[in-house]
Amino acid sequence: MNNITIIKRLTLLLYILPLFMVAQTNYQQAEEYFKQEKFSKARPVFENYIKEHPTDKKTQEYLGDIAAYGEEWDKAISYYKELVEEEPSNANYHFKYGGALGMKAMSISRLRAITYIGDIKREFETAAKLDPTHIDTRWALIEFYIQVPGILGGSESKALEYAKDLLKISPVDGYLAEGYIAELSNRPKDAERYYKKAIEVGGSPHTYEKLSKLYENNNQPDKAIAVASKSLKLHKRNQLNYQIGKVCAKYDIDSQYGIECLGEYIANYTITDGVPKEWAYYRLAQIYKNLGEKQLALTWINKALKSPDDFKEAKKEKSLILAM
């Protein structure tokens, strides 16, 4: 090899290397955007990358996840289906494909949705067989069997089988699943027992929330408030202040406690709390209406109505206040 050839190859390498490094940096940046849920910034990079690397499974999965996040179910199905075909032994691909099919079925007519049921069931059950410890798949199967009518394959006993599986993998998930099945099957006493067991073995905010919601849905507001208050002391989550205030307003009980909790919620509100502040204003208006304090109720309902959204509930509440 002569010196001219060596120089040419070195020159080509020095030209290509920076381009490769830029591409790698862009891809890593896209992954960071994905983690931050800035999907509109991540997607173009992944789409360009997949054009040059059409069989790159990691990028296909990223694009499937972005499509699913945007409720573009046909796109998500396309990406996940390809992944399942390329790697049929990957439980997570089957789980995501089944999930996208399920969400697509929910977005169309019932008649058309029926045609998806067999594929959804197959994908979730395949994922469960491939990975005996896949928690999300078992939750999906529980949801499938408890929600689908019996004539189309739904079965409470099958849902309970997967809840038993969860008990072995994650006791807290198992008890939550059994409580969920009991709740949907109109067995509130059983649901209460299982949710209490979930609190005993897990004690997460979610376990307390499930029990509190059960009491609220079964017209036991005192118990709902007691459970939420205990969770608030333990976990210091601001959204629990809203939950307590909501129950106080809805059932016209513990008004002063409700006012205090909603005041705390508003004072410490961040977007991560989930429920917009306008809803806290709305609940305060309800409480003051319950107390017969018309002017204070009007003050808070007017604050709620400054929301940029069409706050129908607040409009209706204002008419009730004005009629006092």
- What's the domain count of the chain? 1
CA distance 75 to 115: 18
CA distance 175 to 169: 11
Is 228:247 a contact under the CB 8 Å cutoff? yes
pLDDT tens for the chain, 324 residues long, are 454 555 455 455 555 445 444 445 688 887 888 888 888 888 988 888 888 888 889 999 999 999 999 999 999 999 999 999 999 999 999 999 999 999 999 999 988 989 999 999 999 999 999 999 999 999 999 999 998 888 788 899 999 999 999 999 999 999 999 999 999 999 999 999 999 999 999 999 999 999 999 999 999 999 999 999 999 999 999 999 999 999 999 999 999 999 999 999 999 999 889 899 999 999 999 999 999 999 999 999 999 999 878 899 999 999 999 999
CA distance 175 to 216: 19
Residue 12 domain flag: no
Is 231:199 a contact under the CB 8 Å cutoff? no
Residue 324 domain flag: yes
C-alpha 290: how far from chain center:
33
Residue 8 domain flag: no
Residue 195 domain flag: no
pLDDT digits (tens, 9 = 90+) for 95-152: 999 999 999 999 999 889 899 999 999 999 999 999 999 999 999 999 999 988 887 8
Residue 57 domain flag: no
CATH code, 215: 1.25.40.10
Among 250, 308, 236, 247, residue whose Cα is nearest residue 277: 308
Residue 124 domain flag: no
CA distance 239 to 39: 27
Instruction: Return the amino acid letter for 257.
Output: Y
On whether the pTM is more than 0.85, the answer is no
List the domain range (segments joined by +) for residue 262.
203-324
**Cβ-based neighbours of 309, under 8 Å, separated by 6 or more:** 278
Residue 215 domain flag: yes
Residue 165 domain flag: no
